Amino acid sequence: MGLPMNTIHSSSLIDPGAELGDDITIGPFCTVGAGVKLGDGCRLISHAVLDGDTEIEAGNVFYPFTIIGAAPQDLKFNNEKTGLFIGKNNVFRESVSVHRGTVTGIGETRVGSDNLIMGYVHIAHDCVIGNNNVLANYVGLSGHVTIDNHVILGGQTGVVQFLRIGSHSYVGGASVIDKNIPPFSSGYGNRIEIKSINIVGLKRAGFSRDRINAISDAHKLYFRSGLSEVEAIPRIEAELGDMEDVQLFLGFLHETGGKVH
């Protein structure tokens, strides 16, 4: 028994240099460029554009008017060879744009797996997106932004370049993120203020009461105790440093230089 056949609408343009997996569905008026590698089971519903040196793993869905792998919006870009990598089982809703990397950055943009990218989201050059994230409608990521795992960004939120958002964080809609957001945090505002831990998200993710309490204690020591950063971090390490979640929190602070205030 042979592999499932691809279904490609007659109005779509597939460059002969593109590499297509099996069981792919490409609807009307789509374009797939020469450098694209498209994994098994992907679906292009209609009017989707895949371009550039773009590798896409299995099971992704691209809704109408998505533009994936276009050249970065960077005045320094001079048609250098840069790329885009997309993992498995992501959903890219209407009019999402994801651009390739730059040679002055990491050379590629990366999107992990199992992300929901809602309508009109823009992911700029050299961004690194992890797994199981939700970017709501009209979120805009400037270049060189890193989003870890299980993050939710509310609609119309903008993220300044070269920032990182830690795992299991939640940011309310219409926020401007101009600082690093540590793991497990919740906040909103223009400019963003970190208000508390993301307790609702942690409960939904199955975190135990003990884990949540340890995260909350570390968060309070860092943000609410009145201690300076130099004072707070050693105390967190001494009192809670044996907890894996707290180690993730502390590791983020060390890796980003503590630039979260």
CA 27 to chain centre: 26
Residues carrying an active site annotation? 125-126, 143
Q: How far apart are the first and last CA of the chain?
A: 60
- For the CA atoms of 163, 167, 168, 174, the dihedral, rounded to the nearest 10 degrees, stands at 20
Burial of 38-73, coded b for 16+ CB within 10 Å and e otherwise, reads: bbbbbbbbbbbbbbbbbbbbbbbbbbbbbbbbbebe
User: Could you tell me the two tokens for 212?
Assistant: 């949540």
Give the DSSP letter string of 162-214.
T-EE-TT-EE-TT-EE-S-B-TTEEEETTTTEEEEE-HHHHHHTT--HHHHHH
